[in-house]
C-alpha cells in the first residue's frame, strides 16, 4: 500500500505531492489553500500519487483545480506516458468517453429571446434523462460509420456545416478509431442514443455573456457583452460506458500478464504498444467519435428550435460553433518534440497560440477553453497559454468539480425546491427527474470563479469572458 501522500506548498496555486513508495515521479496539484483540505480528505491526492506509480509516466502526475475522487484516476487528473515504455488505462479516461462541451454564439441579446419558450421547445426536441433514446435509430452498419467518422458523419448527412468541423477538436473525427474493436453490446447500446443529452451532469444551457475580460480574444472568438450563447455538455452515452466497462474488467488480467504492479485495481492498464492497449485505444477513439456526432446532432436540432421559436432563419440568429472540446480522452500528442500518450480525465485541452492543432481562425490567439460551472452560478471562456504547454501538457480543468457526492447532496436538497429557488434568481430549469436536478445543485460543486482564479494565478490559462445561465435543460 502506498504511504499517505504529503503535499508541499510551492506557491499560492501549486502543491507538490512528494515522491514516496512506488511513485516513479512526484505529483502536482493546482489548487488554492482553501481547496487543499477537501482534496486530501476525500483522498484525491492519494489517487494522484497512485497514478505516479504507473510504468512509463513522463513528468508529474497532475491534478487540475476541479480535482475530486474518481474511478482510478481522480477526476481532474492529467498524466502523460511514454509511447514505448508507458501504459494506457481505461481508468485514466473514464466511463463517459469524450464527455465534452461545446459553445455556440448567437447574434441575439437577452431582450430578443423568451427563455422559457426556447427551453421548453428544446426540451421537447432533444431527448434527455437516464436511458433516453434519440429521434433517429441507426442500423448496426450505420453505428459503425458513426464510430469511424464522428461529427463528419453527421455533417455529411446535413446535420451542420464544415465550419462546425473546423471548430471541433480533432475536426470531430479521431484517427485510429476501429469500429470492430467495439463490442457488439456497446454498438447495440449506441443504436438509439445518438442525439441525446442523457442525465447526470449533462445539460443544455442558454446563457448571457455578462463580462468580457480580454477584448481582443473575445473579438476573435466572436463574443460580446450582453450576447446570448448556448452550451451543450454530453458524451458518448451508453456506448462509451460499455467500451470502458468491457476494457476496465479485462485490463486487470492484462496488468498481471505484463507484470504491472497496481496500487489500485481501478488503474488496470496495459502497455500502449501491446495488442490489448492498441485495441482499447481504437475502441476509445471510436466512442469519442460517437460523442462528437452526438453533440453535432444536438447542435443541429438546437438551431432548428431557435429558428422555429424566433421565426428567423439560422443565418440571422448566428448559432455558430465557437469550439468543442473533449473532457475524458487519451491522445497521442507531441510535446517539445516527444510523442506521449496524454490521459485527460475530467480535464480539457488548452493549447497555446501557434499550435498546429488550433483552428486557423484562432491560431494567433490560442485555443478557446470552455469551462462550465453550475446551473446556478456561471461559466467561463478561457484561452490556452504557453504556461499550460510547459507545465500541464496543454491542459486545464473541465468545470467546477464536485465537493459533495450525489447521495450527500440528496440529503440536503429537493429538486422541486431547487427549481423554485433558481427561478427566483432568474434561471428557468427543466428536467426529466427531480432527483437528477437535486444531485446537480450548485452547492454540490466548487466555486467556479475560484477554479478559474487558480488557473489564471498559475498561468495555465487566461480569462476571456464570463456567462451566466438563463435557462437550463437537465436530464
Cell numbers of 88, please?
A: 494506457
Rounded-to-integer distance, Cα 350 and Cα 222, Å: 18
What residues have CB less than 8 Å from 139, skipping those under 6 apart?
191
- Please give the grid coordinates belonging to residue 429: 430549469
**Residues 6+ away with beta carbon under 8 Å from 90:** 72, 244, 247, 248, 251, 268, 269, 280, 284
Q: Is 7-474 assigned to CATH 3.90.1860.10?
A: yes
pLDDT of 128 reads 81
Question: Which residues share a beta bridge with 445?
Answer: 402
Report the distance separating Cα 433 and Cα 147, nearest Å: 30
pLDDT at residue 5 in the model: 83
Q: Pairing relation of β-strands 27-30 and 57-68? A: parallel
pTM, whole model, 2 decimals?
Answer: 0.97
Instruction: Give catalytic status of residue 398 as yes or no.
Output: yes
pLDDT by residue, tens only, the chain of 475 residues: 567 788 999 999 999 999 999 999 999 999 999 999 999 999 999 999 999 999 999 999 999 999 999 999 999 999 999 999 999 999 999 999 999 999 999 999 999 999 999 999 999 999 887 777 778 899 999 999 999 999 999 999 999 999 999 999 999 999 999 999 999 999 999 999 999 999 889 999 999 999 999 999 999 999 999 999 999 999 999 999 999 999 998 999 999 999 999 999 999 999 999 999 999 999 999 999 999 999 999 999 999 999 999 999 999 999 999 999 999 999 999 999 999 999 999 999 999 999 999 999 999 999 999 999 999 999 999 999 999 999 999 999 999 999 999 999 999 999 999 999 999 999 999 998 999 999 999 999 999 999 999 999 999 999 999 999 999 999 7
Which residues fall within 8 angstroms of residue 225, CB to CB, at 6 or more apart? 209, 210, 211, 212
The pLDDT assigned to 1 comes to 55
Closest residue by Cα to residue 89 from 291, 342, 338 = 342
pLDDT value of position 81: 98
Question: Rounded distance, CA 101 to CA 399, Å?
Answer: 10
Q: In Å, how far are 87, 229, 257, 285, 385 from 347, measured between CA atoms?
A: 19, 22, 30, 17, 15
Q: How far is it, in rounded angstroms, from Cα 459 to Cα 462?
A: 7
Catalytic residue from among 233, 300, 327, 398: 398
> For the chain, what is the radius of gyration of the CA atoms?
21
Amino acid at each position: 500500500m502506498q504511504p499517505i501522500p504529503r503535499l508541499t506548498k510551492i506557491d499560492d496555486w501549486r502543491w507538490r505531492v512528494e515522491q514516496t513508495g512506488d511513485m516513479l515521479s512526484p505529483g502536482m496539484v493546482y489548487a488554492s489553500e482553501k481547496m487543499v483540505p477537501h482534496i486530501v480528505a476525500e483522498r484525491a491526492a492519494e489517487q494522484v500519487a497512485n497514478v505516479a506509480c504507473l510504468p512509463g509516466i513522463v513528468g508529474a502526475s497532475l491534478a487540475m483545480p476541479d480535482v475530486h475522487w474518481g474511478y482510478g484516476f481522480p477526476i481532474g487528473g492529467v498524466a502523460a506516458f511514454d509511447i514505448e515504455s508507458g501504459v494506457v488505462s481505461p481508468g485514466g479516461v473514464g466511463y463517459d468517453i469524450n464527455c465534452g462541451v461545446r459553445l455556440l454564439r448567437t447574434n441575439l441579446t437577452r431582450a430578443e429571446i423568451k427563455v422559457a419558450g426556447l427551453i421548453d421547445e428544446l426540451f421537447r426536441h432533444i431527448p434527455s434523462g437516464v436511458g433516453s433514446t434519440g429521434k433517429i435509430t441507426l442500423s448496426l452498419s450505420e453505428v459503425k460509420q458513426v464510430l469511424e467518422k464522428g461529427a463528419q458523419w453527421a455533417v455529411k448527412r446535413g446535420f451542420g456545416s464544415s465550419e462546425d468541423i473546423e471548430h471541433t477538436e480533432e475536426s470531430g473525427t479521431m484517427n485510429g478509431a476501429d469500429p470492430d474493436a467495439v463490442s457488439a453490446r456497446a454498438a447495440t447500446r449506441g443504436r438509439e442514443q445518438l442525439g441525446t443529452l442523457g442525465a447526470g451532469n449533462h445539460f443544455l444551457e442558454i446563457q448571457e455573456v455578462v463580462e468580457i475580460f480580454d477584448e481582443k480574444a473575445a473579438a476573435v472568438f466572436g463574443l460580446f457583452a450582453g450576447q446570448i450563447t448556448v452550451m451543450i455538455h454530453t458524451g458518448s452515452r451508453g456506448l462509451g460506458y460499455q467500451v470502458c466497462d468491457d476494457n476496465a474488467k479485462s485490463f486487470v488480467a492484462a496488468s498481471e500478464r505484463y507484470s504491472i504492479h497496481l496500487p489500485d485495481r481501478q488503474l488496470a492498464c496495459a502497455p500502449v504498444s501491446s495488442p490489448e492497449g492498441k485495441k482499447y485505444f481504437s475502441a476509445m477513439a471510436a466512442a469519442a467519435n460517437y460523442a462528437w456526432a452526438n453533440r453535432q446532432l444536438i447542435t443541429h436540432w438546437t438551431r432548428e428550435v431557435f429558428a422555429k421559436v424566433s421565426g428567423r432563419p439560422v443565418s440571422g440568429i448566428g448559432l455558430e460553433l465557437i469550439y468543442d472540446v473533449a473532457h475524458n480522452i487519451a491522445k497521442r500528442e507531441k510535446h517539445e518534440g516527444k510523442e506521449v500518450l496524454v490521459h485527460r480525465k475530467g480535464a480539457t485541452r488548452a493549447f497555446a497560440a501557434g499550435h498546429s492543432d488550433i483552428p486557423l481562425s484562432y491560431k494567433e490567439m490560442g485555443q478557446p477553453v470552455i469551462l462550465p460551472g453550475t446551473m446556478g452560478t456561471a461559466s467561463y471562456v478561457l484561452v490556452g497559454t504557453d504556461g499550460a504547454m510547459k507545465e500541464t501538457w496543454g491542459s486545464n480543468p473541465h468545470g467546477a468539480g464536485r465537493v459533495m457526492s450525489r447521495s450527500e447532496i440528496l440529503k440536503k436538497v429537493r429538486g422541486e425546491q431547487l427549481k423554485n429557488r433558481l427561478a427566483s434568481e432568474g434561471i428557468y430549469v427543466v428536467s426529466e427527474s427531480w432527483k437528477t436536478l437535486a444531485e446537480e445543485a450548485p452547492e454540490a460543486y466548487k466555486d467556479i470563479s475560484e477554479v478559474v482564479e487558480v488557473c489564471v494565478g498559475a498561468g495555465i490559462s487566461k480569462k476571456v469572458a464570463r456567462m451566466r445561465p438563463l435557462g437550463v435543460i437537465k436530464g
